[in-house]
Amino acid sequence: MGVMACRRTTGLGAAMVSDGARLAALRELEILDTEPEGELDRFTALAAELLEVPISLVSLVDLDRQFFKSAHGLPEPLASVRETPLDRSLCQQVVIRGAPLLIDDTREHPLGIGNPAVQELSVLAYAGVPLTIADGHAIGAFCAIDTTARQWTERDMRILTDLASAVETILELRRSTRSGWTHDPLTGLPNRGFTFAWADQLARSRADRDVLAVAVGIDGLRAINETHGAGHGDRVVALVARRLRHALTAADFLGRVDGDVFVALHPPSAERPADAALAQRLRRAVDAQPLTIRGERTAVRVSVGLAAGAADGDGARLVTRAIEELRVTKARRGPGLGGVASSATGSAERARLAVAVAGATTRGEIGVAFQPIVDLVTGRTHGFEALARWRHDDLGEVAPTDFVPVAEDNGEIVRIGEHVLHSACRQLARWRRCSDHELKVTVNISPVQLGICDIDRRVSSILDEHGLPGHALTLEITEGVFLSPGAAERGSLERIRRLGVQIALDDFGTGYSALGYLNRLPVDAIKVDRCFVEGVDSDERNAAVMRAILAIGSGMDLDVIAEGVETHAQSELLRGAGCRLGQGFLFSHPRPAEEIALAG
Sign of CA dihedral 155, 161, 167, 170: negative
Q: Which residues pair with 72 in a beta bridge?
A: 56
Among 417, 516, 555, 582, binds ligand C2E (CB under 6 A): 417
Q: Near Mg ion by CB under 5 A, which window of 10-18, 405-413, 473-481, 579-587?
A: 473-481
Helix (H, G, I), strand (E, B) or coil at 568: helix
Helix (H, G, I), strand (E, B) or coil at 33: coil
- Distance, in Å, from the CA atom of 456 to the CA atom of 118, rounded to the nearest integer, reads 55
Q: Near ligand C2E by CB under 6 A, which window of 105-113, 206-214, 399-407, 455-463?
A: 399-407
Residue 172 near ligand C2E by CB under 6 A? no
In whole angstroms, the minimum distance from the beta carbon of 366 to ligand C2E comes to 8
**Nearest CB to Mg ion, comparing residues 172 and 507:** 507
- Distance, in Å, from the CA atom of 7 to the CA atom of 89, rounded to the nearest integer, reads 9
Residue 507 near Mg ion by CB under 5 A? yes
CB-based contact 32:60 (threshold 8 Å): yes
**Nearest CB to ligand C2E, comparing residues 213 and 421:** 421
- Restricting to residues 559-598, name those near ligand C2E by CB under 6 A: 564-566, 583-585, 590
343 touches which of Mg ion, ligand C2E, none (CB within 5 to 8 A by kind)?
A: none
Amino acid at 360: A
- Distance, in Å, from the CA atom of 461 to the CA atom of 35, rounded to the nearest integer, reads 47
In whole angstroms, the minimum distance from the beta carbon of 468 to ligand C2E comes to 18
- Distance, in Å, from the CA atom of 549 to the CA atom of 561, rounded to the nearest integer, reads 10
What is the per-residue binding string for ligand C2E in 354-383, x denoting contact by CB under 6 A?
-----------------x------------
566 touches which of ligand C2E, Mg ion, none (CB within 5 to 8 A by kind)?
A: ligand C2E
Sign of CA dihedral 583, 585, 590, 592: negative
What is the per-residue binding string for ligand C2E in 432-451, x denoting contact by CB under 6 A?
------------x-x-----
CB-based contact 28:175 (threshold 8 Å): yes
CB-based contact 104:70 (threshold 8 Å): no
227 touches which of Mg ion, ligand C2E, none (CB within 5 to 8 A by kind)?
A: none
Amino acid at 219: D
446 touches which of Mg ion, ligand C2E, none (CB within 5 to 8 A by kind)?
A: ligand C2E
Sign of CA dihedral 537, 539, 543, 545: negative
- Distance, in Å, from the CA atom of 552 to the CA atom of 351, rounded to the nearest integer, reads 44
95 touches which of ligand C2E, Mg ion, none (CB within 5 to 8 A by kind)?
A: none
State the maximum Cα–Cα separation within the chain, in Å, rounded to a whole number: 83
Helix (H, G, I), strand (E, B) or coil at 548: helix
Q: How many residues does the chain have?
A: 600
Residue 388 near ligand C2E by CB under 6 A? yes
Among 287, 506, 539, 559, binds ligand C2E (CB under 6 A): 506
Q: Give the C-alpha distances (Å, rounded to integers) separating 44 from 83, 157, 366.
A: 16, 14, 47
- Restricting to residues 448-477, name those near ligand C2E by CB under 6 A: 476
400 touches which of ligand C2E, Mg ion, none (CB within 5 to 8 A by kind)?
A: ligand C2E
The radius of gyration of the chain from alpha carbons, rounded to an integer in Å, stands at 26
**Nearest CB to Mg ion, comparing residues 325 and 489:** 489
Residue 476 near Mg ion by CB under 5 A? yes
- Distance, in Å, from the CA atom of 73 to the CA atom of 554, rounded to the nearest integer, reads 21
CB-based contact 532:502 (threshold 8 Å): no
318-351 per-residue burial string, b: 16 or more CB within 10 A, e: under 16? bbbbbbebbeebbeeeeeeeebbebeeeebeebe
Residue 62 near Mg ion by CB under 5 A? no
Total of residues contacting Mg ion (CB under 5 A): 5
252-264 per-residue burial string, b: 16 or more CB within 10 A, e: under 16? bbbbbbeebbbbb
- Restricting to residues 441-460, name those near Mg ion by CB under 5 A: 444
Residue 571 near Mg ion by CB under 5 A? no
300 touches which of ligand C2E, Mg ion, none (CB within 5 to 8 A by kind)?
A: none
In whole angstroms, the minimum distance from the beta carbon of 446 to ligand C2E comes to 4
**Nearest CB to ligand C2E, comparing residues 91 and 404:** 404
**Nearest CB to ligand C2E, comparing residues 535 and 564:** 564
List all residues 6 or more positions away from 308 whose beta carbon is below 8 Å from its beta carbon: 210, 211, 212, 213, 272, 275, 318
- Distance, in Å, from the CA atom of 284 to the CA atom of 340, rounded to the nearest integer, reads 7
564 touches which of Mg ion, ligand C2E, none (CB within 5 to 8 A by kind)?
A: ligand C2E
Residue 401 near ligand C2E by CB under 6 A? yes
Sign of CA dihedral 536, 405, 439, 521: positive
**Nearest CB to ligand C2E, comparing residues 188 and 193:** 188
**Nearest CB to Mg ion, comparing residues 131 and 386:** 386
Total of residues contacting ligand C2E (CB under 6 A): 23
Q: Near ligand C2E by CB under 6 A, which window of 168-176, 225-233, 334-342, 400-408?
A: 400-408
2 touches which of Mg ion, ligand C2E, none (CB within 5 to 8 A by kind)?
A: none
Q: Near Mg ion by CB under 5 A, which window of 282-290, 393-401, 425-433, 437-445?
A: 437-445
Alpha helices in 178-271 (DSSP H): 192-205, 221-228, 230-247
**Nearest CB to Mg ion, comparing residues 143 and 518:** 518
- Distance, in Å, from the CA atom of 277 to the CA atom of 279, rounded to the nearest integer, reads 5
Q: Near ligand C2E by CB under 6 A, which window of 34-42, 395-403, 466-474, 553-561?
A: 395-403
Among 400, 470, 480, 522, binds ligand C2E (CB under 6 A): 400
In whole angstroms, the minimum distance from the beta carbon of 597 to ligand C2E comes to 19
List all residues 6 or more positions away from 366 whose beta carbon is below 8 Å from its beta carbon: 360, 388, 389, 390, 416, 419, 420
325 touches which of Mg ion, ligand C2E, none (CB within 5 to 8 A by kind)?
A: none
Hey, how many other C-beta atoms are within 10 angstroms of the C-beta on 174?
22
In whole angstroms, the minimum distance from the beta carbon of 371 to Mg ion comes to 9
Q: Which residues bind Mg ion (CB under 5 A)?
A: 444, 476, 506-507, 563
Q: Which residues bind ligand C2E (CB under 6 A)?
A: 371, 387-388, 399-401, 404, 413, 417, 420, 444, 446, 476, 506-507, 530, 564-566, 583-585, 590
